[in-house]
Amino acid sequence: MKIPFTPNARRPDAAIEVLDDAFLPLRLFPAGVEQLATGLAWAEGPVWFGDGRYLLVSDIPNNRILRWDEITGAISEFRNPSNNANGHVRDRQGRLVSCEHLTRRITRTEYDGRITVLADRHQGKRLNSPNDITCHPGDGSLWFSDPLFGIASDFEGEKAESELTPAVYRIDGVTGELTLQIDDLKGPNGLAFSPDGKTLYVIESRAQPHRLIWAYDVDGVSLSNKRLLIDPGCPGAFDGMAVDVQGNLWCGFGSDGSADADAAVLDGVRVYGPLGKPLAHIHLPERCANLCFGGAKGNRLFMASTHSLYSLYVNTRGAVS
């Protein structure tokens, strides 16, 4: 499905709703929301490759990864089939690491294009459907969520029975050892680190009545001090998120299908301060699933939003993830 989009010619762009004056230094007055591509079935997992000046984004149901070129603006297929790949990240060596729904595994793409499997089982049982992934800015460990979404139907993977409780795992950056970190969240989904790597943020996407964002203290391989950081107080659907260098959380947001949910108000990106205070809402014509920072100076926000890819220049940069 192709989503019609007309950029706002006026500045500041009315699509950028300021909820708190603390957001004003983060807004670029001349910048507006742009639609870079449309026609995807379900856009997810954007990741920026500055060395090639391109962005990769998953189109999960169409079983492909697309490549958007910053120089030409062209979009093409990077990988097809992709094993219904969802979230992606670059490791500390710059290699692509991917969550694959169909094969229920985490893979790394080597420099020569070979695929290395980093994790597909825990204690002999198959993972569910790895969803989102992030890289610790200090030790290079990879942390990923493993909900049931990819095995719940044949739309984003292949319907199958779960062998493991939905959880969050850590892959050691040196030994490759897989360890269970969190197993008490309903539908763990998007995750990200604070800029200093001392805090892990995790979205609980099946929490009721609202999706929640939890924060944990990180001490090497251990998590502690679980605390509720954000309850949106409305039936909006958090999905993925990105963190800027100042510690603000930029969260994909949208209607969750509830009768009292106003999609026109909720769809887009909700920005929160490091302590969970809502700062702004970037309105989009579609629910935003995931996002990342990129561009030549790291100040361009890329938003994978259902059928389309959008971008917005902001006055901050993305933290390493």
Which residue ranges make up each domain of the chain?
40-256
Residue-level pLDDT at 64: 98
How far is the C-alpha of 300 from the C-alpha of 287, rounded, in Å?
Answer: 19
Strands 85-90 and 75-79: unpaired
Structure tokens at 286: 């579609």
Given a contact cutoff of 8 angstroms between Cβ atoms, the answer to whether 176 and 161 are in contact is no
**CB neighbours of 96 closer than 8 A, spacing ≥ 6?**
47, 56, 88, 90, 108, 109
pLDDT tens for 286-303 read 999 999 999 999 999 999
Residue-level pLDDT at 263: 53
Q: Is the confidence at residue 257, as pLDDT, over 70?
A: no
CA-based radius of gyration for the chain = 18
Structure tokens at 24: 């004003």
Lowest pLDDT segment from 12-26, 87-101, 259-273 = 259-273
* Residue 2 DSSP code: P
Residue-level pLDDT at 237: 79
Residue-level pLDDT at 282: 97
Question: 3-class DSSP state for residue 21?
Answer: helix
Given a contact cutoff of 8 angstroms between Cβ atoms, the answer to whether 117 and 142 are in contact is no
Kindly report the CATH number that applies to the domain delimited by 40-256: 2.120.10.30
Residues in the chain: 321
Query: The sheet that has 16-18: what strands, in order across it?
Result: 16-18, 278-283, 268-272, 249-253, 241-243
How far is the C-alpha of 100 from the C-alpha of 172, rounded, in Å?
Answer: 19
Question: 3-class DSSP state for residue 176?
Answer: coil
**CB neighbours of 274 closer than 8 A, spacing ≥ 6?**
194, 246, 247, 248, 249
Helix then strand count (H, E) for the chain reads: 1, 25
Confidence band, pLDDT 50/70/90 cuts, at residue 142: very high
Given a contact cutoff of 8 angstroms between Cβ atoms, the answer to whether 158 and 133 are in contact is no
Residue-level pLDDT at 48: 98
Residue-level pLDDT at 233: 82
Given a contact cutoff of 8 angstroms between Cβ atoms, the answer to whether 269 and 251 are in contact is yes
pTM for the full predicted model:
0.96
How far is the C-alpha of 244 from the C-alpha of 248, rounded, in Å?
Answer: 6
CB atoms within 10 A of CB 9: 7
Average pLDDT score over the chain: 95
* Residue 141 DSSP code: -
Residue-level pLDDT at 264: 56
Confidence band, pLDDT 50/70/90 cuts, at residue 210: confident
Mean pLDDT over 94-120 rounds to: 98
